[in-house]
Structure 1
Amino acid sequence: MNLQNPIGNFNEVVDHKKQLNKIEILDPKMTKMLYQKNGETIPYNDIRIFNMPTNESLNSTEKSVDPSQNIYEAKLFPKWGICSNHKDSRKILGKIVYDPRNKAASVQCPFCKYEHGDKYSAKFSSVRFVLACRAGHLSDVDWTNEIHSDNNCSHNKDDEDRVYLWNESGGGDNIIFRCYGVWKKDASGQSSGNDLFEKTTCNQETRYLTIKGRSIRDGIECSGKFVESHSGSERCNKPARLVLKSMMSLRSPAILSSLVVAQKKSSMFHKLCREPLLQTFRNAKFDVEGKPDWDGDDIAEQFVIQRNRNNIDVGDSLIRDIRNCTRGQLETTFAELSKERDLITSGEATLSESENLAGELASLENTVQQALESGHQGTTSTTISHPIRWPSKISKLHFEAMPFNDIKVTHVQTGYSREVDAQNQAEDEVEQLLRTRTGDMVSKFSKHEDKTNDNVWYLGNQNLGEGIFIHLQPTDPSGNPVDAFSMFDKTALDFKKWDDHNSKISEIVEPILKNKIGTQFDRDSKETMMVQSNPLFVWWHSFAHQIITELAIDSGFTTTSLSERVYCIKKDNGTYSAGILLYVSAPGSDGTLGGLTSLVDPNILPKIVDNAERHLLSCSNDPVCYEREFNPHRSRGAACHSCLMSPETTCSYQNKFLDRNLIRRTIEK
């Protein structure tokens, strides 16, 4: 979308808001995490989040937007295509060009010209090979250079006018690329469907395996180009790798997630928690305190005055909400906003991923405990159902589960990496232990900087959903606390390997956290690695993947629509709390329809867990699968796509920190 030439109602003012402000997502927790992710270099109040504009949201009476109208401009990549829209069995490899007559992207194919009378073929497939490096660069293969190597072609032409043969036989590795010919302009010197085709005589060719071999031997230089940028290239000393464009690890996103499972702050807090509204509310409160019987109307009038003075942009809907608040509600909001402002001004409005997860787990556990103590099947908000408890028939572990409706989920992508390289041998042992990605993080294309007001906008989405929280019962039948590690035989080899690996990481990370060495962003990344390598985390993560597979059968949701949240939190007294939240979220005010939470039934969920534990005992790839031992470089043990590995959209941890052997030993004991 071109912000300089907006579509539909994007520039229209609605309730004193326009452009990105109309589709802003308000989530103080996510803002705090983004503030910390940026190393506190961007002012807290400048960090904003917006939702993706759609045809429906941009449509208005004055400026209509058709549901089928293209509202986003995209660039073709890769820029080379393969044409097979002809009777000749040979495929043509050519640069994708613009067909001026049919106004379509096309490949110039000599076989199509002979058969159909037009060299432009819109029926092509994009070439499946690209070049990428661990620094995040991505570019087309330089086919002309690869095919001709150090030899010159018999014709000096640009890539747009070159034609190569793509001869593929047998398996996908048996491909020969051969120089075939060039296009010459017509009599007027312009390119058209009547251009002349002339075969080359250089007879140059290369094989896919030859290019792949050069890639493995670091023989291909990186172009230094980012596909998102239209500017030139930058210097890069990393070797380029020949990879498939469809490879999931070619773009491995870094996503921050924020879940609100039990709203603690008032609704007005979320509407007023940003400057200048926050300070306006505080000033209004101070101004009316001299009036004994002040109420929401008095606060609202102060907002109207500031709006008329052009000091704030505030809509009628917010002023109406303030008027409808009771004095008690406004007092509560004032206390919440004062505390928030103190955090912002002191620079302490940060939230690490570990702190965020700890807060979520505490909220989940407290809600479960409150439901147990109340003895009710629900609350006035209909959000809570009474937790169910049962002993597993397979593992004999005592589980507890709780359904949660009205979960608010916010996702923001903060960057990506290209996982195209093997382990970097130049790194020392410490760097290898703490690195979960082989590619460097690229974050500069994940935010939009508004030059008019210094706001930095992140693209995100916020949905409502439902979920199931599962953990072990915190106490035994006698009321004694249950150790979170009680399922493990700590002398077992699989446990010891993970525990030793985690101990090495903890020895490095804990002093860094204690002495606050480095930036908060660096400390957060290291702390996350320490948590995720804990064998307790690996156990629950592996368990979550198998439960998701079982839930997909019984709930009607696909595995790609289900998401996971794994908790492994060390308390102040040295003990651990752990569990999983499996959830699904959908756009719209209604969220989902209860298909997942309805499974939290004493007659249903225990059977699902039993099936999951039973299936964890074996894999169709055994014995190959279970013979895979824990590998610290892969951060994974026995796991494959036939058992534990899930679709990339489901797993928040890149299918790492999984080990069926670790959990299998606890079930078999």
Structure 2
Amino acid sequence: GASITAPSIGRMFGNLDKPIGNFRETVDGKQQLNKIEINDVNMSRILFQINKEKIPFDDLHIFSMPTNASLNSTEKNVDADQDIYQGELFPEWGICSRHTGNRIFGKIVYNPRNNTAAVKCPLCKNKYGDRYSTSFSSVRFVLACRKGHMSDLDWTKQIHGTDCNEDVGDDDRVYTWNESGGGDNIVFRCYGVWKKKDSEPHGEYDNFVETKCNQEKRLTDLKGLSNTDRLPCQGKFVENTFSSERCTAHAKFVLKSMMSLRSPVIYSTLVVEPHKTHLFNKLCKNYAGRFREFIMDLNDDKPDWDQDDVANKIEKRKNQKTIEIGDELIREIRKSTRKDLEYVDSELKKHLDHIHSGDIALSEKENLEDELDSLKNVVKNGLEEGIVQQGPSSKSIVFPIQWSSSVSGLRFEAMPFNNIKVTNIQTGYSREIDNGDDSDEIDKYAQTRTGKIVSKFSKYTDRTNDNVWYLGNQNIGEGIFIQLQPENEEHKSTDAFSIFEKDNIHFTAWNDYNQKATIAIDSLLDKKDSTYFDQDNLEGIKMKTNPLFVWWHSFAHQIITELAIDSGFTTTSLSERVYCIKKEDGTFSAGILLYVATPGSDGTLGGLTSLVDKNILPKIISNAERHLLSCSNDPVCYERKFDDNRHRGAACHACLMSPETTCSYQNKYLDRNLIRGTIEK
């Protein structure tokens, strides 16, 4: 389920039971969600683990949000303004905005003449002759609880109790919403009801009658009830308005726009060489075994085979009806090189080995390790073979570039990645509307969510074939990988922690906390029946509280600010990937990937990667280091010390804190003081 506000009327997309347009029709040989499927094997492996390996791997699929453009084809035309799916209004109460004066609010109903959503307003009837006002905005308050339930407030009960002289349903009640001054100074008052005229007992409820109960409720009163746990939860999920369950949790009266009202559980994967994995992703689920069989046959029968031989062999089997495969996939095979197909064959072998060994599940930690290995391998190959590209000033640049900072003396290296693919999915959400004061000491160290994770509305099961679908998005982009050189001037391996002074108070605070958190988390994993999400989340906390992670995360935020100036991208379009991986020998490998990934080709135009030049990027990094030394909010900012009750140290919106779309870690695990200690040696 997802909520969309456009511009002030909320609509909830709860499920895929009501799609229209050509969604259900066969287009280009594909039906329903297969027309908008996203192929990403690593993400499917993560989903396999999340579902506790109970759903067969081949039944797990990912789809992108249906759009008019994605469903349009030569076979079935979909106009740009054609409806393709339906949503439900939420909240179900609205405030009329068609007139000035008293603000009227009531239940949103549908005008029987044209079936449009409207609020029945007596002032509009007097002024315009029509009681149905289509100019309205949804009320901005809702009820929600820690167990994931969300619903409208029972406005009638809260305003009246049982003291109203008119007995009608919510659809025919009218209230006023009186704001004065600002802030919490709002009064909700009973105004009247819609009734039938006495002379027309079989007529419509179009006669407005003012009530005499004079009942009202102030916003401060409702907030008081909420803060003292005196608002009962209705046990409703907005994704399914027809069912409810008994809930013993207390509801909170909150703004519907509050970010923590819906805190999504998001997983992401990143591929740094998608041109090699595109075919693999398309072949692995349905054609892995057959493709490997074809390659092995050609290796025996025609050792000098090429891509056309592979395509012809598959096409022959298709004509013989021994394999069902689309013409588009065959064309992609023809466009590939033998080297690409050999790579795909080797990856398919590994994939099949994983399945046969029962080792197909992939944790988020393992995925990050694989990503970092891929990034470092490209850097290593660049150092060994010399990757040469044309630079922005008509000169050739050998990658990776290496330099020593003129500010800190730290030895950096950077590598551009012109073609990366990023896949994101949402597997659930929680409502972080409570402080969770009842958490035990271990839970506080582990920083687990205070709300229960709701996952049942984040997937769609096709009952015709038991396929399970998750909503996701997949974008192509470019990025810059930055790390400290793993070897010193004498070509000896260096410890990533060597950048820290071990007696620095900020390093000590983070390091001590990380050690306590690690002990607490290990105890939590041993003693509690944790889900796969819990395990991934807890392992992530161990990584994110590591001072090395905090250092790189803080540095990434400052570099993004500098890049936004030099690359032309806004900070909201730039994203981060922070790596801090413990190796088998106990040492750590760390670095950051700063990237932009957008639909279409906008993220691959080179505006970011062109900055990887010895005459450009070192200056950007030096500027970042200088700006980390001070903040316009100093001394208030740098005097903020990290402790057990905070998720960040010296960081504020004037220096390190970034927009929500940029930071993958909710602006936690930041500390400018930790970096200052490594720059001001």
Question: TM-score with structure 1 length normalisation?
Answer: 0.91
1:431 aligns to what? 443
**Equivalent residue for 2:410, pick from 384, 389, 397:** 397
Matches within 5 A, 1:609-648: 609-648=621-660
1:179 aligns to what? 190
Q: Say if 1:223 and 1:631 are closer, same or farther in 2 by CA, change over 3 A.
A: farther
CA contact 2:148–2:452 (8 Å) conserved in 1 = yes
CA contact 2:156–2:170 (8 Å) conserved in 1 = yes
Opposite residue 50 of structure 2, the aligned amino acid is K
CA contact 2:94–2:107 (8 Å) conserved in 1 = yes
Q: Secondary structure at the match of 1:463?
A: strand
1:99 to partner: Cα distance? 2.1
Does the alignment pair 1:8 with 2:22? yes
Does the alignment pair 1:129 with 2:141? yes
CA contact 2:195–2:207 (8 Å) conserved in 1 = yes
Does the alignment pair 1:456 with 2:468? yes
Cα distance in 2, alignment partners of residues 406 and 206 from structure 1:
57
CA contact 2:237–2:244 (8 Å) conserved in 1 = yes
**Equivalent residue for 1:197, pick from 184, 208, 211:** 208
1:258 to partner: Cα distance? 0.9
Cα distance in 1, alignment partners of residues 224 and 93 from structure 2:
21
Deviations 1:223-254 (A, max 9, x none): 11111113311122221111111111211112
Does the alignment pair 1:493 with 2:505? yes
Name the count of aligned residue pairs.
662
Cα distance in 2, alignment partners of residues 218 and 517 from structure 1:
29
1:297 to partner: Cα distance? 7.2
Cα distance in 1, alignment partners of residues 239 and 332 from structure 2:
42
CA contact 1:258–1:411 (8 Å) conserved in 2 = yes
Cα distance in 2, alignment partners of residues 354 and 556 from structure 1:
33
RMSD: 3.1
1:469 aligns to what? 481
CA contact 2:276–2:340 (8 Å) conserved in 1 = no
Q: Secondary structure at the match of 2:79?
A: coil
**Equivalent residue for 1:72, pick from 85, 93, 100:** 85
CA contact 1:411–1:461 (8 Å) conserved in 2 = yes
Does the alignment pair 1:233 with 2:244? yes
Q: Say if 1:198 and 1:538 are closer, same or farther in 2 by CA, change over 3 A.
A: same
**Equivalent residue for 1:45, pick from 42, 58, 66:** 58
Q: Secondary structure at the match of 2:53?
A: coil
CA contact 1:389–1:399 (8 Å) conserved in 2 = yes
CA contact 2:23–2:84 (8 Å) conserved in 1 = no
CA contact 1:512–1:523 (8 Å) conserved in 2 = no
**Equivalent residue for 1:545, pick from 550, 554, 557:** 557
Cα distance in 2, alignment partners of residues 76 and 311 from structure 1:
49
Deviations 1:7-57 (A, max 9, x none): 23752241x433222322111111111111222121111111112222122
Q: Say if 1:631 and 1:171 are closer, same or farther in 2 by CA, change over 3 A.
A: farther
CA contact 1:564–1:583 (8 Å) conserved in 2 = yes
Farther off after superposition, 140-149 or 515-524: 515-524
1:129 to partner: Cα distance? 1.0
Farther off after superposition, 543-552 or 367-376: 367-376
2:7 aligns to what? none
Does the alignment pair 1:32 with 2:42? no
Opposite residue 557 of structure 1, the aligned amino acid is F
2:519 aligns to what? 507
Deviations 1:452-494 (A, max 9, x none): 1111111111111011111212223233333212332222222
CA contact 1:8–1:60 (8 Å) conserved in 2 = no
Deviations 1:558-589 (A, max 9, x none): 21111110010111111111111110012225
2:163 aligns to what? 152
Does the alignment pair 1:659 with 2:671? yes
Q: Say if 1:125 and 1:281 are closer, same or farther in 2 by CA, change over 3 A.
A: same
Opposite residue 393 of structure 1, the aligned amino acid is S
Opposite residue 11 of structure 1, the aligned amino acid is E
Q: Secondary structure at the match of 2:585?
A: coil
Deviations 1:175-225 (A, max 9, x none): 111111111135656786x81111111111111111111111111111111
Cα distance in 2, alignment partners of residues 175 and 383 from structure 1:
66
Q: Say if 1:82 and 1:451 are closer, same or farther in 2 by CA, change over 3 A.
A: same
Question: TM-score with structure 2 length normalisation?
Answer: 0.89
1:4 to partner: Cα distance? 6.9
Cα distance in 2, alignment partners of residues 279 and 60 from structure 1:
31
Does the alignment pair 1:279 with 2:292? no
Does the alignment pair 1:115 with 2:103? no
CA contact 1:517–1:523 (8 Å) conserved in 2 = no
Q: Say if 1:123 and 1:10 are closer, same or farther in 2 by CA, change over 3 A.
A: same
Does the alignment pair 1:421 with 2:431? no
Q: Secondary structure at the match of 1:378?
A: strand
Matches within 5 A, 1:542-581: 542-581=554-593
Cα distance in 2, alignment partners of residues 619 and 95 from structure 1:
49
Cα distance in 2, alignment partners of residues 294 and 389 from structure 1:
41
1:336 aligns to what? 347
Cα distance in 2, alignment partners of residues 403 and 72 from structure 1:
40
CA contact 2:145–2:250 (8 Å) conserved in 1 = yes
**Equivalent residue for 2:173, pick from 162, 170, 173:** 162
Farther off after superposition, 254-263 or 156-165: 254-263
Does the alignment pair 1:600 with 2:606? no
1:284 to partner: Cα distance? 4.8
2:30 aligns to what? 17
Matches within 5 A, 1:90-101: 90-101=102-113
Deviations 1:326-366 (A, max 9, x none): 87766654443232112113321122111111121122222
Matches within 5 A, 1:214-225: 214-225=225-236
For structure 2, list consecutive stretches of 5 or more residues without a partner in the other structure. 1-14
Farther off after superposition, 97-106 or 545-554: 97-106
1:410 aligns to what? 423
**Equivalent residue for 2:495, pick from 473, 480, 483:** 483
Percent identity for Structure 1 against Structure 2: 59
Cα distance in 1, alignment partners of residues 644 and 383 from structure 2:
41
Q: Secondary structure at the match of 2:325?
A: coil
Cα distance in 2, alignment partners of residues 383 and 429 from structure 1:
57
Cα distance in 2, alignment partners of residues 385 and 101 from structure 1:
70
2:72 aligns to what? 59
1:290 to partner: Cα distance? 6.9
Matches within 5 A, 1:278-357: 278-284=288-294, 291=301, 303=314, 307=318, 312-321=323-332, 333-357=344-368
1:427 to partner: Cα distance? 2.2
Cα distance in 2, alignment partners of residues 416 and 573 from structure 1:
37
Opposite residue 26 of structure 2, the aligned amino acid is E
CA contact 1:254–1:415 (8 Å) conserved in 2 = yes
